[in-house]
Structures are given as C-alpha cells and as structure tokens.
Amino acid sequence: MANIKSQKKRNLTNEKARQRNNAFKSELKSVIRTVNTAVASSDKEAAVTALATASRKLDKAVSKGVIHQNNAANRKSAISKKVNAL
C-alpha cells in the first residue's frame, strides 16, 4: 500500500475504473451471447435487432476506452457474418 496521499487517491480511482470496465465487458459478453443464441435458434429478426444493439455497445466500449478498436471490429465482424448467414 502506498504512503503518498495522491497515490492512495489514484488507487481508489483505478479500482473504480477497473470495476466499471469489468461490468461493461460483462455486459458486452451478454449482448454478444444474445446475438449467438438468436442465430442458433435461426430467428432472423431477433438476431438483427441484437446485432444492432451489440454494435452500438461495442462502439461505446471503444469510445470509453474499455476495449481496443480492432477488438471491437473483429467482434462486430464475427457476429455480423453469423447473422448474414441466416
């Protein structure tokens, strides 16, 4: 544990950011899982709406700095391929 006051404050903000990022990543996984289950059940309408939601969430994660831009692009590409294959 740090002795310096500013570092103690920084540790607190880092922990808040870590928890926020983990929650956001968990939400991303859930949204992508929704797309995959819609594709597995071959429900085109649900898959398209879930894909739009997932794309929006992935873009938001990039803008917030939670994931890298290329990571989001790869995930969006993978799920859109699955949806377009329906």
Residue 9: pLDDT above 90?
yes
Q: In this structure, what token pair is assigned to residue 14?
A: 């880092």
Give residue 75's pLDDT. Answer: 96
- Give the number of domains in the chain: 1
Which tens digits make up the pLDDT trace of 41-56? 999 999 999 999 999 9
Question: CA 57, 62, 66, 72: dihedral to nearest 10 degrees?
Answer: 70
Reported confidence tier of residue 1, pLDDT bands at 50, 70, 90? confident
pTM for this model (two decimals) = 0.84
pLDDT score for 86: 87
How far apart CA 85 and CA 77 sit, in angstroms, is 12
Domain that holds residue 32: 5-84
CATH assignment at residue 29: 1.20.58.110
Q: Phi and psi (nearest 5°) for 2?
A: -75, 155
Using 50, 70 and 90 to split pLDDT, how confident is the model at 29?
very high
